[in-house]
Amino acid sequence: MNGIQTRSVVIVGGNRIPFSRVGGAYADYTAFDMLAEAMRGTVNRFGLKGKTIGDVALGTVFSHPSIWNLAREAVLASGLSPMTPAVGVERACATSLEATIWIANKIALGKIECGIAGGVDSASDVPVFLPSKLAKRIVRAAQAKTLKDRLGQIAGLGFKDIRLAFPGVTERTTGKTMGQHCELMAKEWKVTRQEQDELALASHQNGAKAQASGFYKDLMTPFAGVEKDGILRGDTSMEKLGKLKPVFDRSDKGTLTAGNSSPLTDGAACVFMASEDYARKNNLPILAYFKDYETAAIDMNTEGLLMAPAYAVGKMLQRNRLALQDFDFYEIHEAF
């Protein structure tokens, strides 16, 4: 931002609902239900009820057609003043991060004093589509002026024409799922099954220990009778993980299993951000400073699908003249 004066952006705090496996506790709830609850929890946690804040950016990967303006509807259900604007964003797995960047930039440039970013995804509430041929016939039938014309549009449809279509989980460019791409990456970089299982075991044990100690208590709003994450397996072991069969490459060369891969999950989370001046004037906590960000992309035909973060992190560190060794703690997350 050459020549542009920017301000310090701070993380005041966050709120989320517990995460649940697909088809589990939230099977009968929509993505909107979950996002609205995460928003309400954020509003209540930071005393924002009835207040107008600068902006809200929320996103989801699989947008449900029943609520096309998801972010705005979530604001209206949250307890914030209806005068609060909202925008929906989408950048695949980085959707919520992109929403956070959106709000941080507005605060840094002095356009707003505070805002909320967040996101939701429901693997249980994915939109189901009609096949193109059937959908077009139904539209034409609805537009027809006589009963004969309406019936004429439906006549001749076979069983294969009325099969429901589900959102694709493969990359259109390569025809492979994220798991299949990760198998290729693991082979290229020689990441063994043993190493993956060890990391998965540590993740489950650390997460379960944190949950048992109440670490997440001030970060979560109970939802649908659920008070803790349902995706942690604190009782797992290397022996249990070792018995699981690969799911993306079923040959003896496969390494990714249901135990060392991320589960399909339902959940929603939000973060409240502000300028440093606003936070101090309103006696709000400052958990961290939002200092910088970077995005990157790769050619999936020549390099692993999940390698983009390696480029983004490298660029950001170089720009700030830092190395990973300069940090006491850092977190890197991907689906695999």
**Average pLDDT for runs of 10 along the chain of length 336:** 77 97 93 97 97 97 84 98 97 93 97 98 82 81 85 76 72 87 92 96 95 93 95 94 96 94 93 98 96 92 84 94 93 73
Query: Residue written as tokens 């991320």?
Result: 262
Name the β-bridge partners of 312: none
Per-residue confidence (pLDDT) for residue 3, from 0 to 100: 55
Please state the separation of Cα 143 from the chain's center in Å: 39
Distances (CA, A) of 220 to 74, 80, 147, 246: 17, 19, 54, 33
Q: 199 with 240: CB under 8 angstroms?
A: no
Q: What is the pairing mode between strands 114-121 and 9-16?
A: unpaired
What 3-state class would DSSP assign to 217?
helix
Per-residue confidence (pLDDT) for residue 129, from 0 to 100: 73
Per-residue confidence (pLDDT) for residue 291, from 0 to 100: 94
Q: Considering Cα of 154, then 160, then 164, then 168, what sign does the dihedral take? A: negative
Query: Assign residue 330 a region: left if phi > 0, alpha if psi is -120 to 50, beta otherwise?
Result: beta
Per-residue confidence (pLDDT) for residue 334, from 0 to 100: 67
- Give the helix ranges, DSSP H, for the chain: 31-45, 70-78, 95-108, 132-143, 147-154, 178-188, 193-212, 238-242, 276-281, 308-319
Per-residue confidence (pLDDT) for residue 114, from 0 to 100: 98
Distances (CA, A) of 273 to 42, 59, 76, 155, 265: 11, 16, 19, 56, 26
